[in-house]
Amino acid sequence: VQGIPHSLEKLIEAFSRFPGIGKKTAQRLAFFVLKSDKEIAADLANVLIEVKENIRSCEICHHIAEISPCPICVDECRDQSILCVVETPEDIFLFEKTGFRGVYHVLGGVISPLDGVGPDDLNMEDLLERLQNVREVIVATNASIEGDATALYLAKLLSSMNLRVSRLARGLPVGGHLEYVDEATLLRSIDERVEIQ
Ligand SMILES: [Zn+2]
């Protein structure tokens, strides 16, 4: 942009890389930082670095946490025999709000041939390794074509094992992501989950 100093331009560019932030919002944020005390800018810089340094992936479930294994995996009050398979760590936060007391496994995505994502690109192998004492796997991938395909793949993969495999009930918007579902609907879709194997 004409007339905008280079370092300010760089900040605008950095903000516009964030999801949901358009050029205009990026500009507003950058000007906010510019007008703020130096302390606020330093704080922002620090928390950005801290979050990258302190947050790791749980070695068991791949959830994000400051320690590994994460607090959910080591919580003895939880039912370790019900395992909810989700696409992303963000999904776990949604399930936690419903009061779900099982444990989780983060796949890290869904099978999507068009995007070049196959089963080997997801956290499937170590999912198989943790099923000894599991009696039910709830596949909670999104209600999308890829989410459904991934659920079917998992059902097939687990078919030789002596456990129940279920899928969240519909009532979730088709193609919709879990993040747009309210807690009550999500809770209902857990309660009314359907057996797929
Ligand atoms: Zn964990």
Share of the chain above pLDDT 70, in %: 95
Q: Contact 141/87 with Cβ under 8 angstroms?
A: yes
Q: Where are the alpha helices (DSSP H) in 74-121?
A: 89-98
- Residue 136: which pLDDT band, with cuts at 50, 70 and 90? very high
For residue range 61-103, list pLDDT tens digits in order: 999 999 999 999 999 999 999 999 999 999 999 999 999 999 9
Q: Contact 113/93 with Cβ under 8 angstroms?
A: no
Considering only 7-11, 106-110, 155-159, 166-170, which range has the smallest mean pLDDT? 166-170
Distance 65 CA to ligand 1 centre (A): 8
Whole-number average pLDDT of the chain: 92
Distance 140 CA to ligand 1 centre (A): 16
- pLDDT at position 184 is 82
- pLDDT at position 122 is 97
Distance 58 CA to ligand 1 centre (A): 5
Distance 92 CA to ligand 1 centre (A): 10
pLDDT surpassing 90 at residue 190: no
What mean pLDDT is predicted for residues 113-128? 94
- Residue 175: which pLDDT band, with cuts at 50, 70 and 90? low
Distance 189 CA to ligand 1 centre (A): 23
Distance CA 106, CA 140 (A): 10
- pLDDT at position 173 is 61
- Residue 171: which pLDDT band, with cuts at 50, 70 and 90? low
What mean pLDDT is predicted for residues 151-175? 84
Q: Where are the alpha helices (DSSP H) in the chain?
A: 6-16, 23-35, 38-54, 89-98, 125-128, 145-157, 183-191
Q: Contact 111/156 with Cβ under 8 angstroms?
A: no
Distance CA 193, CA 195 (A): 7
Distance 57 CA to ligand 1 centre (A): 8
